[in-house]
Amino acid sequence: MSEMKITILCCHYTNQATAEDFAGIPAKIEVKRYPCSGKIEVADILRALEDDAEGVLVAGCEKSSCHNRSGSQRAEKRTAAAQKILEEIGMEPERVQMAFVPRLETGVLVEATKRLFETLLDLKSKEGTSS
Amino acid sequence: MIIAERKPISRILAMIEPYERVAVLGCRGCVAICSAGGDREVEIVSAALRLARKRAGRPLTVVEETLVRQCDPEYLTGLEELAKKVDAVVSLACGVGVNFIADRFPELRIYPGVDTSFYGANPALGEWEEKCRGCGDCILDFTGGLCPIARCAKNLLNGPCGGSQDGKCEIRPEVPCVWHQIYERLKARGELERMMKLFPAKDWRPAGHDGPRVRTREDLKVGN
């Protein structure tokens, strides 16, 4: 079975997590950093899925501490827009999740990634039973 | 501006089902301003179509392009070349753009990626409201600038109707009764006598009920 790929699209300020931090998650973790999570577009999320990610985590600062005031709230709305498109094409919207992460607290980001990983495992097992 | 809304991706997928290569063609006119068919929406629709088809095991090649406008011939000159590269085009322009391209490029299979809705204003980010119906016989001079054709559910020329309650419309109670608004505005201006004008039954031919409308200005035409 090929390794599951998860793409994290996140704010540059949110974290400095490295591959070592994600070592406990048995998946290929790709991190793409943006100047602000408000810069992450719906198309970026969809393209990550196109590029074989099974799930995408959008991570931005906590709502009260966004460097650009409302960037992470914008990211939350774009995540919802991407989820709606996934529904339209028959994909599970929970493949895309939003996480608000305290600045530089890598542990919170890793936990959110683990939750997404577990969601994706769950989806995979359902696929297995329905086919 | 003309307001449009993206069609569900599943609907667009059904239109292009037989094809392997399509172009998603945006327009930087009204549909870009109302966030339905500009560069950003071209990216989203293209990515969604590719993703859906990849998962269905029938990968799709998408050419992404956005024209300055799809309703002026000078901006369509590149379409002939584009048509050679793709099996079909999904236009994110309003219905005007789709029709105009369909008229000029009969061989090109062009499909609408948006539903064209109304002429509207943009009172706040993410909100659009209908303000004009394009009826071809403007009476805003009598109504304080508020249009009863576009903004009254019954298009009444002599309102309000008996269903106007507390300044709200009986059809959708969250909508202000435009005739109530017209009355209040004219009253505040001391121009209530304008309400005494009775409009006869409207001639809907200038609104398009006489077939497609055409406007010409001889002084702008080139040649004879």
pLDDT of residue A1: 55
Q: Does the B2-118 domain belong in CATH 3.40.50?
A: yes
Q: Is B55 on the interface with A (CB under 8 A)?
A: yes
- Report residue B191 as tokens: 């121009």
Asked whether the beta carbons of B84 and B20 are under 8 A apart, the reply is: no
Average pLDDT of span B153-180: 96
**What does pTM read for this prediction?**
0.94
Contact B47 A90 (CB under 8 A): no
Contact A49 B51 (CB under 8 A): yes
Q: DSSP H helical segments within chain B, as ranges?
A: 9-15, 30-33, 39-55, 79-85, 95-104, 148-151, 178-188
Identify all chain A residues contacting B50, using CB atoms and an 8 Å cutoff. 50
pLDDT of residue B55: 96
> Mutate which of A9, A50, A56, A127 to disrupt the B interface (most B C-beta within 10 Å)?
A50
Identify all chain B residues contacting A41, using CB atoms and an 8 Å cutoff. 40, 43-44
Asked whether the beta carbons of A36 and A68 are under 8 A apart, the reply is: yes
Q: Is B50 on the interface with A (CB under 8 A)?
A: yes
User: pLDDT tens digit string along A61-78?
Assistant: 998 888 888 999 999 999
- Nearest by CB to B9, which of A49, A50, A89? A89
User: Complex ipTM, two decimals?
Assistant: 0.93
- At B223, the pLDDT band (50, 70, 90 cuts) reads confident
A29-43, A101-115, B111-125: least confident range: A101-115
Asked whether the beta carbons of A13 and A75 are under 8 A apart, the reply is: no
> How many angstroms away from the CA of A126 is the closest CA of chain B?
17
pLDDT of residue A105: 83
CATH class of the structural domain A5-124: alpha beta
| DSSP-assigned letter for residue B159 | -
- Nearest by CB to A43, which of B8, B13, B43? B43
| B3 backbone φψ class: left, alpha, beta (φ>0; ψ -120 to 50) | beta
- Report residue A86 as tokens: 């996934």
pLDDT of residue B11: 98
Contact B10 A85 (CB under 8 A): no
Strand order in the sheet with B21-27: B61-67, B21-27, B88-91, B110-112
CA distances from B164 to B156, B157, B179, B196 (A): 12, 14, 8, 18
| DSSP-assigned letter for residue B67 | E
Which position has the token pair 């039973």? A129
> How many angstroms away from the CA of A110 is the closest CA of chain B?
27
Tell me the domain boundaries of chain B. Answer: 2-118, 133-207
- Nearest by CB to B44, which of A42, A49, A91? A42
